[in-house]
Structure 1
Amino acid sequence: MPSVIFLDLDGVLNRTRDAPHLRLDDDLVARLRSLVRDTGAAIVLSTFWRAFEEYVSYVLSRHGIPHGTVIGRTPGRNSSFDFVTATASEPAFRSRAEEITVWLATHPEVASFVILDDRPSAANGDGTVGEPLASRFVQTETSVGLSDANVARCREALASKVSDAEKSVFLQAAGLAPPKSHDPRGLVDTAPGSVNEEAQALSRELSAGKLTALTDLNLKKAGLAALPPQIGELASLTKLDISLNTLSTLPAETSGLSSLRILFSLGNEFESIPSVLRSLPRLYMLSFKSNRLTHIPEDALAPTIEWLILTDNLLEELPASIGCLKTLRKCMLTNNRLLALPDSLLQCRELELIRLADNRLSDLPRGFWQLPKLAWAGLAGNPLVARAAPLPPPRWVAPAELEVGEQIGAGGGGFVHRAVWSAQPDEPVALKLFRDAGTVTDGDPAHEIDVGSALTHPNVIRVLGATPRPQLGLVLELLQLNKASAGGGWGELGKPPNFDTCARDTYPAGTTFGAPFVLRALSGVAAACAHLHAQQLSHGDLYAHNTLVRHDGEPKVGDFGAAYNYAPLGAEAAPLVERVEVRAFGCLAEELATRLAPAAGDESEAALQRNLLGLAREAWMGAAVGARPSFAEACQQIEALARAYFEAPPPFPW
C-alpha cells in the first residue's frame, strides 16, 4: 500500500476549528495536492467529516486531487454519522488517536504515514498511545491551516518507513491479533466462507492432473496462494480466470498453455507481470486489474495481445516494448500513477480505445491524436487537462429527498434504480449509484457528475442533480425502458462489446433497422456530440450501448463516465480530439448501416445504405484524422442524406 496521510479538514484545509459545513480553502488544498503528487501518498479521512467519505473525495477532486486518492476513513462514530444510517453499528472510540491506531492495526501493509490535524488528541489521545503516533504527528495552527513548514514535516514523516516494532505497538494498543490477510481495495473477501468451494475443488483436481482436457477453467476465489505447476498440462485451455486469490507469481509451467487466449487475474497481489506470459503464442486478452503492479518487464507482454486491462494499479511507467503489440486494440490504464506514455505506443497502429483517466500525465507523445484507428480515449483526472475552467457545480440532492426503488439497470460504472424525488414527487427519476472509484475502468465518477451536470441538450439524458451519500450518485431523468421497437418506451441502441468484437458493439442476432430510424438516430447523436464539442468536451465512450433510443429512432446519449474537458490541450490538439470521437461516431454509423435491410426493389433504401456506409468508412472513419469532418459538418452530411432519401426535408427536427 502507498504511504498514508491521516487527514483532518477543519483547521487543516480551512482556517476554522469547527466549520458548520464542509468548505476548503484553495491555497491550503494546493499544498496538500503538491504533497500527494510528490509523495504518492493516499489519504485516509480521520476528520469529523469522514462519515461523508465519497462526498469529501468528490470535493477534493474538484480541487485537483484524484478521487481515488482517498482510500478510506478511520473507524468510529461521531455526530456526523447520525445522517448515515448504513454505519449505525459502528463503535465510538475515546479519541481520534485510538481510531487511527485501530485503522493502522488492521492495515499492516502501510509503508509509512503522517497525521495532519490541528488537535493534539489526534496523536496522543488519553495518553495511552503516545509514540509512535506522536513522532508522525504534524500539528497545524487552526487559524493558519496547512503551511509550507507543515508540508515539509509531512515529507520527512512519509520518507520514514514504519518498523515492525511500531506495528506491534499498534496491534497491542488496539487489542488485535495480526490479520491473516488484507486487500486494501476490498476486492477479496477474507471472511469465513468467502472461498468459492467449487473453484477450490477444481484447484484440487488440477493439482491431481485431472483437468488436462479443459478449455475453460474458473479458479476465481479458490483460496490460492500459488498456482499448481500442473497448470502447464492444460494445452487445450483457452480461458483461465484466477481472480480474487492471493497470487503474486505464476509457475514456469504456465508456458505450456499453448492455446490460452484469455487470462483474468483481478484482485491478486502481483507487483509485476510475469515474463512467462510472453511465451504464450495465442494470448489475446490479458487482465491484471486491481493488483499491486509497479513494474512491467520489457519481456512480459505477448505480442499477440489485443485487449490489455491494467486498471487500478500502481504503475508509473509502461515498458517501451508495448510498441511491439502491433495488434493492440484496447488498453485500459485508469487509476494508476503514470507520469508519461512511451513514444513507442504510437507504433500500436490498431489501437482503438485507451483509458488513461486518473493518472499523473502532464503530456502525451507527439502524434498521439493522429493514431489512425483511435476512437475512444479517456483523460480526465490528469494534470494535462486539470487547467480547464471549473464546470458548473451540480445541484446536490440530500438522501432524505429520495425514496429509492427497484434496480432497473447496471453497468461498469454503477447501478441504476428507480426513485421518487421530493422535488418532483409526481415524476419518478432514475438514480445512478456509482461503484467504488478506484475500480471503475472509465474513471472517477466525479468526472461524470461534472460533465453531465453541464450539458443541456434534447438528445442527452438530462442530469437533475447529484447525491453525495451514502453513495455518490446521479439523479437523472427517468426514461421508461421498453424495447425500442415495442412502442413508446426507450431501449438500448446496442449491446456492449464481447470477447470477440473487443472494441465494437454487438447487436442481437437478426437485428435490422429501418431507414427513418437510422437517420433519426444518427442525426440526434451527431447533434448531441456537436453540443459537447462546442464546449470542448469529449464523451470518450460514444457507443450504441450508451445510447437510448425511442421506437422512432429518437436518441438520448448517456453515460459520461469517460468524459473530459480538453480545452487545456490547446488549439492544435482540440480539433483532433473532436475528430477522434468522430471516428467513434463513424463506427456507430457503420454498425447501423450494415443492419439496414432494404426490401427487394427498394432502390432508395439501397442507395441510402451505400451512401451511408461510404460516408462512415471514408469520411468519419478515415485514416487521416485531420481530414475527418467536425460533428457540426457531420450533422449537415446526415441532413443531406435524409433529404435525398425523403426527397424533401426530413420529417423530424434538425
Structure 2
Amino acid sequence: MSANAPIDPTLLALRRGDLAGTRALRLTGPLDAFPDEVFGLAETLERLDLSGCGLTALPDGFGRLRRLKVLFCSGNRFDRLPPVLGDCPELAQIGFRGTGLREVPGEALPMRLRWLTLTDNRITHLPDALGARPQLQKLMLAGNALDALPATLEGAPNLELLRLSANAFATLPAWLAHLPRLAWIAWAGNPAEGGTVQARVPDVPWSRLDPGALLGEGASGRIVAATWRAEEGEPARPVAVKLFKGAMTSDGLPEREMAACLAAGQHPNLTGALGQIVDHPDGAQGLLMPLLPADWRVLAGPPSLESCSRDVYDPALRLPLAAALRITLSVARGAAHLHARGLLHGDLYAHNTIWDGTAGTAVLSDFGAASLLPPGPAGAAWQRIETRAWGLLLGELLDCCTSDPATLAELRDLERACIQADIRARPLMAEVVQALSAHIGEACPDE
C-alpha cells in the first residue's frame, strides 16, 4: 500500500475493535496483504468482500474463518485459486471474477460449495473435484479458455445454472442436456455454437434519434428513452435504446446478446429489437427497442445470496389465477417463438419478465444468455432444459396465486411435467403453449 494512499475507514474501525460481532465485512483497499484483524471476527463472520483490494494471496490460516459462507475476491490478481478456501468448513459461495486465474486446484473447492463464479479469467482446465461437490447449484465460467468440463459433473445432482459462454468448446458434452435439475445455460461465443440466425431488422442512424432519460443500467449496457423519426417529416415515435458497454458479463459477451436480440425478431411477448443503431458518434453498438409503458414492472427480483438460483419475490405479491395464467402464457409464447427461430433464451426467469402489474400482460426480456440451438434432436433436448425453467416459474406464480389449491391441481400437474427429472418426457414449449391455452380459455374468456 502506498504511504499516501487513504486507509479504508472500515479497516480502521476493524483495527480499533469497533466491529466485534460483525457478520458481513467489506474492505475496499488498497491492501498489501490480508489484514490479520479479520481473524478477530472468526466466531461471527459469514460474508467477506475483498473485491478490488489488490490482493494476490490469502494467508495459510484462512480456514480459521470457520463460519464464513460467502467470499468475494473479484478484481484482485490471483494466478491460482487459493487452496486455503477448501479449509473453510461453511464456505458455499466463491467469487473470483476477473482476477487472471489460470489454475483451479481441487483442494480449493470447499465441500459445501454451492455457487462458484470464475467469470473472465484464463482457466483452461477444471478439476475432477468439482463434480464431487454435491451441493453445487450455480457455476459461472463465461470468458475463460475451457474446451472441456470434468466428466465428474455428469453426476451433479443439483446443478441448475451453468454459464459457458466465450470459451473454447468445439462441442458440448452430450450429458449436459440430461442433468436432471439444469434449467439455465448459456454457451454463446464458443466454436460449438456454429452459425448465426439472420437478423430481420433495419439499420437506424443515430441522427434520427433524440435520446432522453436513463431508464436502467446493467452489466451489458445502458437503456435510455428516446424518440425516433423513422423518416423525415414523419411524427416521432417513443422508443427505448440500449447502448452496449462491450465488457464481459457473467452471461457472456454483449455482442452476442445484441446478435440474439436482433435474430429474435419482433414478437408481442419479447422485448426484441426494432432496429440496429448505426453511426453512433462514439462508435457504440446499440439496439432500438419498444418502449414499455411506464407503469410496467419486473415480476421479481434476481436471486439473492441465500436463494442462489431462485428469484426473490415480493412477499406481499398475490395474483388472481387469470393474471398468473396470462403471465405464464406470455412467457411460454415468447420462449416458443425463440425456439422456433433457433434460439435458447438461457435466462428464463421472473426477474427477466416485465408485466403490467394488473391483468398479466407480460414480455420476456434480456437476451444476454441466449445461445444458438443446434438442429434436430440435440436442439430439442436443450429446449426441454428451458421447459424446466418455465415450469419453475409456473410453480412460483402458483405459489402466489389467490385461488383455492384444488382449482390449481391440473396446473400443478403441468408444473410437474415440465420440471421432472426425465428430460425426454418434458413437453416442448410449443406443447406448453397448447396445454396452457386450454386453461386460460376457461379462466380468461376474453383471451
Place the TM-score, normalised by the shorter chain, in its bin.
over 0.9
Contact 1:233 1:256 in 2 (8 A): no
Contact 1:206 1:228 in 2 (8 A): no
Contact 2:331 2:364 in 1 (8 A): yes
Contact 1:443 1:561 in 2 (8 A): yes
Give the share of equivalent positions with the same residue, in percent: 36
> Does the alignment pair 1:283 with 2:91?
yes
C-alpha displacement of 1:645: 4.0
TM-score, normalised with respect to structure 2 = 0.92
Q: Give the equivalent residue in structure 2 for 1:556.
A: 363
C-alpha displacement of 1:290: 1.0
1:433 to 243, 252, 265: 243
Q: Deviations over 1:241-292 (max 9, x none)?
A: 1011211100122211111111111111011110111011111211001110
AA matched with 1:238? E
C-alpha displacement of 1:398: 3.2
Cα distance change of structure 1 residues 232 and 425 upon mapping to structure 2, 3 Å threshold: farther
Q: Deviations over 1:398-449 (max 9, x none)?
A: 33332221111233332211112232752211111223322x1111111222
- What secondary structure does 1:429 align onto? strand
C-alpha displacement of 1:524: 1.6
Q: Residues of 2 paired with 1:403 and 1:367: CA distance?
A: 49
Contact 1:413 1:442 in 2 (8 A): no
C-alpha displacement of 1:462: 3.3
Q: Give the equivalent residue in structure 2 for 1:651.
A: 446
Contact 2:266 2:274 in 1 (8 A): no
**Greater Cα radius of gyration, structure 1 or 2:** 1
Contact 1:298 1:319 in 2 (8 A): yes
AA matched with 1:408? L
Q: Residues of 2 paired with 1:411 and 1:610: CA distance?
A: 38
Q: Residues of 2 paired with 1:432 and 1:225: CA distance?
A: 39
> Does the alignment pair 1:497 with 2:303?
yes
Q: Deviations over 1:38-57 (max 9, x none)?
A: xxxxxxxxxxxxxxxxxxxx
Q: Give the equivalent residue in structure 2 for 1:242.
A: 50
Q: Give the equivalent residue in structure 1 for 2:324.
A: 518
AA matched with 1:459? N
Q: Residues of 2 paired with 1:496 and 1:620: CA distance?
A: 22
Q: Unaligned stretches of 5+ in structure 1? A: 1-179, 182-191, 483-489, 599-604
C-alpha displacement of 1:324: 1.6
- What secondary structure does 1:613 align onto? helix
Contact 2:177 2:381 in 1 (8 A): yes
Q: Residues of 1 paired with 2:262 and 2:71: CA distance?
A: 38
Within a 5 Å distance, the mapping from 1:226-625 to structure 2 comes to 226-235=33-42, 236-385=44-193, 387-392=194-199, 394-423=201-230, 426-438=236-248, 440-454=249-263, 455-467=265-277, 469=280, 470=282, 471-482=284-295, 490-550=296-356, 551-567=358-374, 570-598=375-403, 605-616=404-415, 618-625=416-423
Q: Residues of 1 paired with 2:246 and 2:24: CA distance?
A: 29
Q: Residues of 2 paired with 1:553 and 1:205: CA distance?
A: 49
Q: Residues of 2 paired with 1:394 and 1:336: CA distance?
A: 32
Q: Give the equivalent residue in structure 2 for 1:184.
A: none
C-alpha displacement of 1:607: 3.2
> Does the alignment pair 1:631 with 2:437?
no
AA matched with 1:477? P
Q: Give the equivalent residue in structure 2 for 1:642.
A: 440
For the aligned residue pairs, the C-alpha RMSD in angstroms reads 2.2
- What secondary structure does 2:110 align onto? coil
Contact 2:197 2:342 in 1 (8 A): no
Q: Residues of 1 paired with 2:202 and 2:79: CA distance?
A: 41
Cα distance change of structure 1 residues 231 and 347 upon mapping to structure 2, 3 Å threshold: farther
Contact 2:48 2:70 in 1 (8 A): yes
TM-score, normalised with respect to structure 1 = 0.64
Q: Deviations over 1:83-118 (max 9, x none)?
A: xxxxxxxxxxxxxxxxxxxxxxxxxxxxxxxxxxxx
Contact 2:34 2:55 in 1 (8 A): yes
Contact 1:378 1:442 in 2 (8 A): yes
C-alpha displacement of 1:217: 0.8
- How many residues align? The count is 438
- What secondary structure does 1:637 align onto? helix
Cα distance change of structure 1 residues 394 and 252 upon mapping to structure 2, 3 Å threshold: farther
Contact 2:63 2:89 in 1 (8 A): no
Contact 1:548 1:556 in 2 (8 A): yes
Q: Residues of 2 paired with 1:390 and 1:588: CA distance?
A: 27
Q: Give the equivalent residue in structure 2 for 1:36.
A: none
Q: Residues of 2 paired with 1:393 and 1:263: CA distance?
A: 44
Contact 1:517 1:552 in 2 (8 A): yes
Contact 1:313 1:335 in 2 (8 A): yes
Contact 1:231 1:254 in 2 (8 A): no
Contact 2:140 2:250 in 1 (8 A): yes
C-alpha displacement of 1:619: 0.3
Contact 1:248 1:270 in 2 (8 A): yes
Cα distance change of structure 1 residues 431 and 234 upon mapping to structure 2, 3 Å threshold: same
Within a 5 Å distance, the mapping from 1:160-179 to structure 2 comes to none
AA matched with 2:331? V
Q: Deviations over 1:490-534 (max 9, x none)?
A: 221222111121111111121011111111111121111111111
Cα distance change of structure 1 residues 636 and 390 upon mapping to structure 2, 3 Å threshold: closer
Q: Give the equivalent residue in structure 2 for 1:64.
A: none
Contact 1:388 1:566 in 2 (8 A): no
AA matched with 1:228? P
Within a 5 Å distance, the mapping from 1:212-231 to structure 2 comes to 212-220=20-28, 222-231=29-38
AA matched with 2:211? V
C-alpha displacement of 1:390: 4.4
Q: Residues of 2 paired with 1:384 and 1:566: CA distance?
A: 10
Q: Residues of 2 paired with 1:302 and 1:372: CA distance?
A: 23
Q: Deviations over 1:330-370 (max 9, x none)?
A: 11111111111111122221011011111111122231110
